[in-house]
Amino acid sequence: MTERVREILSWYAGNSPGVLSNLARMLNHGTLAGTGKMVILPVDQGFEHGPARSFAPNPPGYDPHYHFELGLEAGCNAYAAPLGFLEAGAADFAGEIPLILKLNNSDSLLSEGDPCPAVTGSVGDALRLGCSAVGFTIYPGSGMRNDMLEEIRSISEEAKAVGIPTVIWSYPRGGAITKDGETAIDVVAYAAQIACQLGAHIVKVKPPTSFLEQDAAKKVYEAERIPIEKLSDRVKHVVQSSFNGRRIVIFSGGAKGSDDKIFDEVRGIRDGGGFGSIIGRNSFQRPREEALKFLSTVMGIYRGDIP
């Protein structure tokens, strides 16, 4: 147990030994073990975008075992997926890599102005499958947000009672928020704050842009001269907005893009004090060897081996 991991766990004082153990399990697994940084492999795109859009670019990805193996070989801290994908491999790979059961999911056969994912798994499922955490998406800004917030409230309380930490994907969207606003720095920082206030152990947000969405917030950012020009500054602000760094906040990898652009983004996250990345499509939509190399670079940046 490194000093850094002990320090991180100290922020979660008051949580049960079960919750702390599972947090430690994720922090101490894989290439980044003990560094306090995390790279998580999430594969819910089959549900969210459909199988061909997700896996045709790299067909071995149709097979649920592929992702367990990829996460394991790449040295990811954890592998996150919906119920079906985990059920299809949790026994075969039992104990090999920490698992995060994603408890709600949306599909893209229908899109609604006020989106709300369906709850598709339970804390009981997470226990049954030997998971180290549960994941849950909220859409602040959606007219359905109260449903999501109340679902995660209940799930989170149940999870804490059985030693399972909660990871909240906090993605503002819905009628009240513009497309640019979804990644605006004020909105992303707010999304992180909401997830923390809901009792999340780990928060996932999108890398923020320098756009400011809400007038009332804009005034404050300008008046207080909060630096938001560089990504590292914005990440720093999001970390600050996550209880002054007392909660682990990680950033999504987004759609497939050029590697250099992603590596730069990872540098920005690292330099701003972010805790890591959760990278799906950029990992599993390319051949395995390329993916391993790609993830190795990402982790190298987080370790500091790569500047």
Which residues within the stretch 177-206 sit at the binding site for a second copy (CB under 8 A)? Answer: 177, 186-187, 189-190, 192-194, 196-200
Q: Would you put residue 304 in left (φ > 0), alpha (ψ -120 to 50) or beta?
A: left
Give DSSP secondary structure letters for 192-205: HHHHHHTT-SEEEE
Under rule CB under 8 A, residue 210 binds a second copy = no
C-alpha to C-alpha distance for 283 and 293, rounded to whole angstroms? 10
Q: List C-alpha distances in Å: 253 to 141, 221, 279, 295.
A: 22, 26, 5, 11
Torsion of CA 83, 89, 92, 93, to 10 degrees: -90
Number of residues engaging a second copy in binding (CB under 8 A): 87
Q: How far apart are CA 37 and CA 248, in angstroms?
A: 9
Q: Which of residues 31-60 bind a second copy (CB under 8 A)?
A: 46-47, 49-53, 56-57, 59
**83-102: contacts with a second copy (CB under 8 A):** 83-85, 87-88, 90-92, 94
292 binds a second copy (CB under 8 A): no
Q: Is residue 21 a contact point for a second copy (CB under 8 A)?
A: no
Coil, helix or strand at residue 118: strand
Closer by beta carbon to a second copy, 62 or else 305: 62
Q: Binding string, 248-287, against a second copy, x = CB under 8 A? A: ----------------------------------------
Give the DSSP per-residue string, 25-38: HHHTSSTTTTTT-E
Nearer to a second copy, 33 or 119 (CB): 119
- Annotated active-site residue in 160, 204, 206, 236: 204
Among 26, 38, 97, 226, binds a second copy (CB under 8 A): 226
Q: Is 201 exposed, middle or buried (0-12, 13-18, 19+ CB in 10 A)?
A: buried
Is residue 204 annotated as part of the catalytic site, yes or no?
A: yes
**Contacting range for a second copy; rule: CB under 8 A; set: 9-17, 30-38, 254-262, 273-281:** 9-17
Which one among 30, 36, 42, 121 touches a second copy, defined by CB under 8 A? 121
The residues, ordered by sequence, that sit 6+ positions from 56 with a Cβ below 8 Å of its Cβ are none
Residue 43, phi then psi, degrees to nearest 5: -135, 80
203 versus 269: smaller Cβ distance to a second copy: 203
- Does residue number 9 form part of the binding site for a second copy (CB under 8 A)? no
Residue from 141, 207, 208, 276 that binds a second copy (CB under 8 A)? 141
Q: Which residues are catalytic?
A: 204
